[in-house]
Chains A and B, each alone.
Chain A
Amino acid sequence: MRELELYYGPQHLGMVGNFSLTLQVEGDKILKASANPGYLHRGFEKLMEKRSWIKNFPMVCRINVIEPDSMEMIYSMGVEKLAGIEVPERAHFIRSIFLELARVGSHLFGLWAYANMLGFDTVAQWAMYHRDLVLDLFEELTGGRVYHIYIWPGGVRRDFPEGFKDKIVKTLHTIGGCVPDYDSTFFNNRLFYERACNVGKVSRAEAMEMGGVGQVIRATGMAYDIRKVEPYAAYDRVPWNVPTRKEGDAFSRIWIVRDEMIESVHMIFKLLDEMPEGNVYNRIPNPFKWRIPEGEAYVRCESSRGELGLYMVSDGGKEPYRAHFRTPSYSHGLTVLEKALEGANISDVGNIMMSLYVVAPEIDR
């Protein structure tokens, strides 16, 4: 049969954002795939070298549009490690609750994209509605729907307003009450099983070799989660589990997303119960004259897509000398995706890409 070169994206219904693929196909079988990122490249790491430490906050949260909060967290952690700033205990708890809410919102967005792509429009509409309820919480707390700039070096920007705890509980109960509906319509649906089982298989050895993190490696049975491996914020204060599965295909990756959401909700309840009283913010030096001592730091945290890292160098100046983000989608969207697409069917491209949870702005930065 004749070989063809097929361009997939960026203007395409089955695409994860602004990203494209070049596929070598024979019939409808993919022989070779090469990813083509760069449609969203803004040169953040270069721009950050020209802005002061505090002015970088609006920059970093725009790297991952779907979950900006883990980006703020990682940058705050980097600044705190370089400058040696301590964070109050209550701020640790608020940070964890905030990040877990963001994880729920981000997973619901991912579920929207995945369900929409498979044709489960009803589930997609529900997921997007429930995400909006989480965004309402963020809006009340920080004033922004999408970008919050809430986590700062030294703590968080403000304490929870009065009655906010009850609102979190109420919203999470609303979302959690719909889990049986989600299960019966989507997760336990035979169509979803037929469509996603044994699609886009990544074995554990392959995933480890190619730098897989997050759902990709947890779907192969390894409980690799930075919140457990290298605990930060208040994640070591409460008991919780890392959901894993054995198969390593699209089906198990999406099931892990579901289990993680439920685990996050339970974790938020536990954190709310154990939250201590006190200060939420340690004063930092005047941000306009702030100089951070010479040194370098590598910090990492768990975003909703996997391990997120930041390598930051300071030369004692007002701006970072160099910052480099290690984003989970970088290895998932370039190496793992190219490997998983080899030998797959054209109709499964969107399925594999969405289940790997690739976000294009994270790759391009």
Chain B
Amino acid sequence: MDFLLLLISAGLVSGAAYGMIAMGFALIYKATGVVNFAQGELVMLTAYVAFSIAGAVDLGFWSLLAVTVPIAMAIGLTLERIFIRPMLGEPAFAIVMVTIGLAVILRGVTIMIWGPDPLDFAAGLSREVITLGPIPFYPAQLYAIGCLAILVGLAYGFLRYTRVGIAMRAVAANETAALLMGVSVKRIHAVAWSLSSAIAAVAGILFAANFKLGPDMWFQGLRSFPALILGGLDSLIGAAIGGLIIGVVETLAQGYLGQGLREIAGFVVIVVILMVRPYGLFGARDIERV
């Protein structure tokens, strides 16, 4: 029983990371209709930026977050302006390919700046074990789950109550109609990219604090696809829940079915979901008519 609880709690922690990364994907997909393949690279880049900030000034976790997030938003805005904005109106395939190209560029640049070796990054959190019931936790693990909950709350409030959030939902529902209603679609796209980078920064810092800060971190972006698909491509809250489920499924597969299954469990889930329910748990159903 303790083994099961341990697996589930470990799964929830890695699932929280997947969930945060997948929320970044979902936000951009919702607003622009494009899967941003560079999301994992954004996570990695912002985590490295946070590492450099933490090396320069001694900050606690929340103040580090408060410094990094605006920088991440600026990075997101810049990338959108340079790479994505000129492609406005091109077919989705072309834009997705641009994000793939962007991903490779960001990956190379990050490694060339910070070097290929993994770094130790505590993100201003202590490393004393906290025990909840029978299960020991590192503070970073609890922060990851907590931050996921906060992000879900913020995303819900943002999309439901703020003017920009409602405009974003309008763009997601019908871009042309939103444009005719006076919504600046370009600005919504830019906002989506900057907010998505902000989410990436939170995810990156917590992932680095929990696991490691290395040049293969971009891979977490691809590892988060199962969460995104399970939640439904365009649902932020779905992505968060999908992340938690995928995290638990992965650790359970590893614990009970065998080593090595952890990496592919999520992808097997993807194939199954796409066969059975391609729009995921919470996604909008695309109905195609002739």
Answer yes or no: do A and B interact. Answer: no
Residues on A close to B: CB < 8 A?
none
Residues on B close to A: CB < 8 A?
none
